[in-house]
């Protein structure tokens, strides 16, 4: 036989459900009601659990209407009087249903309960998941260890790059990136030397990694033997990094994901290029002559970090004497 439980109104509650009903009527706070049920001291976790709202248990039909996203919160609360409107896929989403119920003080199952019902229905061959905004497709987690779009193989982290690269005391340590044109139809391959600021730019028809590797080799092959390292971000367009490294006889490294400051010189160079080709500019009309004009502008632009010398002037004053350049290489730097 259950013991009577006293309440602060001086009445008797003869069972648990009656006590819960009194709580739902708002006559007792949940913490006080729990203390009436059990006079023992409450621990902190128990008190936190006691403060959680009680979830009502709706029938499968009501949960289904909430899951379909076609019922208003009132329809869910009243047991399924659906108020349908718009197309079959244009109703409320689960979070909207639950949120609206809470706003109006109505009882409703949780968002997770609705989604669990949806997934169960999908496993049984149902179509509730088709009412979800993403049709049940999973979001890709930013920075996830496993990327469904593919992973660059044999990457070498920037952590393994020689410390001399950070000193910017030698020519031949490059940073490389891709600048996309409007509608992602064409792109510019940009590269720069960390020490001298000398820039290279080439036009690409897209982001294909093999085409990029071939263009990078073509652009930089006149300087083979003078180059030491190349550092890029983790874009899939650099998947053929081993081909680039082999053709130019350099070591290739990847910056950490979302650490653009590890390629700060290249990011700055891209900003300078954007002065001539602002974001949203179509590259469809670009040709090699225009690309060469922009590159020459950058390589003959006085830089504060170089003591207001141009990159070309800085290179010939500080690095050229010790590199024993061939005539071809000298011409390549100034043309």
Selected residue with higher pLDDT from 69 and 138: 138
The structure tokens listed for 31 are 């913490």
What pLDDT is stored for residue 320 in this prediction?
Answer: 83
Q: Does residue 25 surpass a pLDDT of 60?
A: no
Look at residue 141 and tell me if it is in a domain.
no
Instruction: Give CA 171 to chain center in angstroms.
Output: 34
Average pLDDT over residues 183-190: 90
Q: How many domains does the chain have?
A: 3
288-299 vs 264-276: helix crossing angle, rounded to 10 = 120
Selected residue with higher pLDDT from 126 and 3: 126
Q: Is the pTM of this model over 0.85?
A: no
- Rounded distance between C-alpha atoms, residue 312 and residue 290, angstroms: 19
pLDDT tier at 123 (50, 70, 90 boundaries)? confident
- Rounded distance between C-alpha atoms, residue 110 and residue 231, angstroms: 48
Q: Does 264 share its domain with 205?
A: yes
Q: Does residue 85 surpass a pLDDT of 70?
A: no
Q: Which residues pair with 232 in a beta bridge?
A: 254
Percent of the chain with pLDDT over 70: 63
What pLDDT is stored for residue 322 in this prediction?
Answer: 77
pLDDT tier at 235 (50, 70, 90 boundaries)? very high
Residue pLDDT, tens place only, 275-333: 899 888 999 999 999 999 999 999 998 988 889 999 999 999 998 887 777 666 666 76
pLDDT tier at 125 (50, 70, 90 boundaries)? confident
Average pLDDT over residues 137-153: 60
By CB neighbour count within 10 A (0-12 exposed, 13-18 middle, 19+ buried), where does 20 fall?
middle
Q: Which helix (H) or strand (E) holds 200?
A: strand 199-204
The structure tokens listed for 74 are 């009132």
| Of 210, 234, 207, residue with least CA distance to 145 | 234
Residue pLDDT, tens place only, 164-185: 999 999 999 999 999 999 888 8
Question: What does pLDDT average to over the chain?
Answer: 76
Q: Does 297 share its domain with 244?
A: yes
Q: Does 294 share its domain with 187?
A: yes
What pLDDT is stored for residue 292 in this prediction?
Answer: 93
Look at residue 205 and tell me if it is in a domain.
yes
Contact 236, 152 (CB under 8 A): yes
The torsion of the CA quartet 214, 216, 221, 226, rounded to 10 degrees, works out to -150
Sheet-wide strand order for 251-254: 199-204, 187-193, 173-180, 229-232, 251-254
> Domain of 43?
5-51
Q: Does 185 share its domain with 238?
A: yes
Selected residue with higher pLDDT from 136 and 285: 285
Q: Does 119 share its domain with 177?
A: no
Q: Does 75 share its domain with 164?
A: no
Q: Does 86 share its domain with 19?
A: no
Give the SS3 label for residue 294: helix
């Amino acid at each position: 036989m259950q013991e009577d439980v006293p309440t602060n109104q001086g009445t008797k509650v003869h069972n648990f459900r009656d006590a819960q009903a009194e709580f739902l009527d708002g006559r007792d706070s949940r913490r006080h009601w729990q203390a009436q049920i059990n006079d023992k001291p409450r621990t902190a976790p128990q008190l936190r659990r006691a403060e959680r709202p009680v979830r009502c248990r709706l029938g499968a039909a009501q949960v289904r209407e909430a899951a379909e996203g076609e019922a208003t919160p009132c329809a869910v609360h009243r047991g399924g009087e659906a108020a349908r409107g718009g197309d079959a896929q244009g109703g409320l989403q689960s979070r909207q249903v639950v949120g609206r119920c809470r706003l109006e003080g109505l009882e409703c199952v949780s968002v997770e309960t609705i989604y669990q019902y949806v997934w169960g229905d999908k496993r049984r061959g149902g179509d509730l998941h088709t009412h979800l905004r993403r049709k049940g497709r999973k979001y890709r987690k930013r920075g996830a260890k496993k990327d469904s779009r593919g992973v660059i193989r044999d990457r070498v982290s920037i952590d393994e790059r020689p410390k001399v690269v950070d000193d910017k005391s030698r020519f031949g340590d490059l940073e490389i990136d891709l600048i996309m044109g409007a509608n992602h139809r064409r792109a510019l391959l940009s590269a720069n030397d960390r020490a001298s600021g000398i820039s290279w730019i080439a036009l690409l028809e897209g982001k294909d990694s093999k085409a990029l590797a071939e263009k990078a080799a073509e652009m930089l092959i006149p300087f083979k033997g003078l180059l030491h390292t190349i550092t890029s971000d983790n874009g899939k367009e650099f998947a053929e990094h081993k081909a680039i490294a082999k053709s130019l006889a350099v070591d290739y490294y990847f910056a950490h994901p979302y650490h653009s400051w590890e390629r700060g010189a290249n990011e700055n160079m891209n900003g300078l290029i954007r002065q001539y080709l602002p974001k949203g500019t179509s590259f469809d009309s670009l040709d090699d002559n225009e690309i060469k004009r922009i590159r020459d502008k950058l390589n003959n632009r006085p830089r504060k970090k170089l003591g207001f010398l141009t990159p070309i002037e800085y290179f010939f004053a500080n690095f050229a004497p010790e590199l024993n350049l061939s005539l071809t290489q000298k011409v390549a730097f100034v043309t």
